[in-house]
Structure 1
Amino acid sequence: MKILNFYYFRQKYDLPLKILLLLNIALIASCFCCYAQTPNPDNTTSKVDHTYITARYMGGLVIPHHKTMLYFIDDFASGFEINYGLRKFDRNSWQAFFNYPEIGIGFYHGTFGNKEIYGTGYAIFPYIQYNVFRTQRLSINNKVSMGLGYASKPFDLQDNSYNMIFSTHLNIYIGLGLSVDYRISDRISASMSGDLTHMSNGAAKKPNHGVNVVSVGLGTKYHFNKNLTPTINKTQPNKLKERELLIVGSIGRSQSSIYNPNKFWNSSINVNYIWHLNEKRGIGIGLDQIYSEAIPYAWEEVENINELQSFSTKDCFVTGVFASYNVYLGKMNLFTNLGLYIKHNVSPPQPIYPRLGVRYPILPNLIGNFSVKASFFRSEFIEFGLGYRLKYSKQKKS
């Protein structure tokens, strides 16, 4: 028995999740590093730490966003999640700019609608949970989780050829959630959530349709600090007169399609000029030069590819311009680029492309980069790289 026909949700749910902040395992993991760099407050500054353990049971549906999944999903999805979190109330920290979010690490286990074909999944992930609304007892939060996932039964040509959603044991796990917690005693809160989770390998190996699960969770949160939650207002970040020129080179590998088993090299160089609006956000413009051996195969429709056709090196080059949006969590930079192809020899599936990722300084001007390049909302390759930063006009506005 098929649960529901969600095929029309393909554009709405599957594709954005493939790129959403794949990227961003390093982003939230680096938040823990930021704690060590937070300056010590003086005696008049509030500094309170609240730590929690939250456990939820989750039940819901797998969204069959590809036709092959419609034939095999015959059960509901279920699982559980355990989180250990810390909320740091320190007016001198970067957390004060974001209304004191909860940051922690979690574990997930769940099913995907057919244990015989899709098996079960496990994930361990860092997360950040922002406040939508908070009183001393009630909090409404939105949560982003990004980490490593494990699929127990990936695609195997001999033993599990029907599984088109996972081709590797190791995957990227992404979770989005909206939760409500209510303090019912000194130590216990009742907790409920709505969650959307995704797991795939980011096009590193095909098939890679990935799996999306929408679910509802019920559970409890244990408070190690029995005091009620402080209701400190967030701190407004200082405005800046700061500009930055950032040059980043990155490299990665990917598989173009299930019909082509070859792994291709991909690389990019981008130059980004950034205006820092304040200590929290910045905007920028830039130029991309991308080289991808997979482009001639990934951008052409399968039925149009001529196996005897050869491609030249220039077919693998594309040029684009982009706008960037940057969020700064201490020294860490979470960025989103939206680009437009301006030069190419092979026509892209869409003229617009996104890139999302995280950057963190290794040395004062040397930047580590982790990001995902996509074709509109379908991931093309994950990339790692280094960048060099030139800053000037560092004085703050009065």
Structure 2
Amino acid sequence: MFLRHFYLIVSGLISACCYSQENEIPRPSSFVLSGGFEYGNILRTNEPLKGYKNTNYTGYSVQILKQTAGNKHWEKQYNYPQYGIGFFAFDFLDNKEMGSPFGIYGVYNAKLGQCGKLKWYHHVDFGIAFNSNPFDEDHGYYNTSLGSRTNMFISLGTGMYYELGRHFDIGLNLKFNHLSNGSLKFPNKGLNTFAPQISLVYYPERAVPRTNDSISFNTKKYNTLEVSAFGGRKNIFYRGGQREELKKLYEGFNYSVYGVEAFYMRQYSSKSAYGLGVGITHDEQYNHTMYVADSTLYQQKRFSHDQLLFSVIPSYRLIIGKLNVNVGAGYYLFKKERKYDSPAFFQKIGLQYQITDRLFASFGINAYDLHIADYLEWRIGYTFSRRERR
């Protein structure tokens, strides 16, 4: 069923492209259509997957991209990248019980170099996947890779492309794909795949990079003071003693996380900034504890009064036009750790978009141990001070 929908999408996109050619667009098109096929393996990263005899899978994708030509400063800085939207579908072949994930994602392709007609690209994709088969003890499905039908989709890859002619490129990529829900629902060990991919790229007309020296670029650098409020939610299962007495292995509770953070960022180039942040976080999980009595799981308040978590967060920022990629490593200064708690040291990565010069919104992941998602963050913020550096 999912392949039928996927093929309909591809057919519709191809028809749209053919229609545009018939009507002869009066100016060069900067849009690109790409299709890909991959055949690879599911990585055996947890115990249930190690018992699978065959972990091969196939993947199909189609992308609608915009080829930048240097009309904006950041496009020239990043070597005229492509960005747009993509659709994908996976078939797990001999392991149909894992589901048939399909979804939609944002695409960013950056060219690293070119020699004649041969080009080297790397790509980052981020989106949402549907129709995975989650852990379900009631129906005898014990794969702990995913705990929900809807998950985040992240793909990283690199590959070489060759220009076949005026309108087509053929490419060979190596791809790593990751599906998980950011701890919204446990279990959530994650599902990872690795595969070579062959792709065909269609250019209605190749965009020509703009090299007009009369274009004025903004080379100013700024120091900014930003304040934001964030919120998230996570599902935590019981990890303590007597776990075997529980009827459901991954029974647990849902907890909210929210707080405020302030960052002072210093821009040191047209692409990058660094800074330091401080935060105050209310984590419901931290303020509760779970215990087992009579083979039943309960929760109770851990402290007589809720405790706040105070953090300090050194950060780095990659600037791509109005889009910022924020990476930070923080520490909860006075966290009272107990067995099975997440550590006081945590990591953050997020995408921040400048809605106006002052107002911004962000979405990201808070993690620990460099690979375990604690919760997803949604935030809105305001830039109180933006001073040009002299």
Q: TM-score range by the shorter chain?
A: 0.7 to 0.9
Offset, 1:360? 2.4
Q: How does 1:96-245 map to 2 (within 5 A)?
A: 96-112=76-92, 114-135=94-115, 137-225=117-205, 230=209, 239-245=219-225
For 2:255, the equivalent position in structure 1 comes to 264
For 1:366, the equivalent position in structure 2 comes to 359
For 1:10, the equivalent position in structure 2 comes to none
Within the alignment, does 1:387 sit opposite 2:378 as a pair?
A: no
Q: Which amino acid aligns with 1:333?
A: N
- Preserved contact between residue 248 and residue 270 of structure 1 (Cα < 8 Å): yes
Give the root-mean-square deviation of aligned CA atoms: 3.0
1:133-164, Cα deviation, whole Å (9 max, x unpaired)? 12452211110000110134233333252232
TM-score (norm 2): 0.79
Offset, 1:202? 1.0
Query: Which structure has more RCO (C-alpha within 8 Å, separation ≥ 6)?
Result: 1
Q: Look up the SS of the partner of 1:77 in the other structure.
A: strand
- Preserved contact between residue 170 and residue 201 of structure 2 (Cα < 8 Å): yes
Offset, 1:66? 1.0
- Structure 2 stretches lacking a partner, 5+ long: 1-26, 238-248, 292-296
Q: Which of 307-316 and 233-242 deviates more?
A: 233-242
Q: Which of 125-134 and 360-369 deviates more?
A: 360-369
TM-score (norm 1): 0.78
- Preserved contact between residue 59 and residue 89 of structure 2 (Cα < 8 Å): yes
Q: Which amino acid aligns with 1:151?
A: N
Whichever of the two has the greater Rg, that structure is: 2
Distance 1:194 1:85 in 2: 20
Distance 1:309 1:277 in 2: 48
- Preserved contact between residue 328 and residue 349 of structure 2 (Cα < 8 Å): yes
Distance 1:340 1:379 in 2: 16
* Matched-pair identity in %: 20
- Preserved contact between residue 135 and residue 231 of structure 1 (Cα < 8 Å): no
Offset, 1:291? 1.7
Offset, 1:315? 6.8
Distance 1:371 1:379 in 2: 10
Q: Look up the SS of the partner of 1:90 in the other structure.
A: coil
Identify which of 294, 303, 316 aligns with 1:325. 316
Distance 2:219 2:337 in 1: 44
Offset, 1:48? 7.2
Offset, 1:231? 9.2
Q: Look up the SS of the partner of 1:96 in the other structure.
A: helix
Within the alignment, does 1:357 sit opposite 2:347 as a pair?
A: no
Q: Which amino acid aligns with 1:291?
A: H
- Preserved contact between residue 117 and residue 160 of structure 1 (Cα < 8 Å): no
Q: Relative to 1, partners in 2 of residues 1:324 and 1:313: Cα closer, same or farther, differing over 3 Å?
A: farther
Q: Relative to 1, partners in 2 of residues 1:133 and 1:336: Cα closer, same or farther, differing over 3 Å?
A: same
Q: Relative to 1, partners in 2 of residues 1:76 and 1:296: Cα closer, same or farther, differing over 3 Å?
A: farther
Distance 2:53 2:93 in 1: 5
Q: Which amino acid aligns with 2:352?
A: R
Offset, 1:353? 1.1
Give the total of aligned pairs: 344
Within the alignment, does 1:376 sit opposite 2:369 as a pair?
A: yes
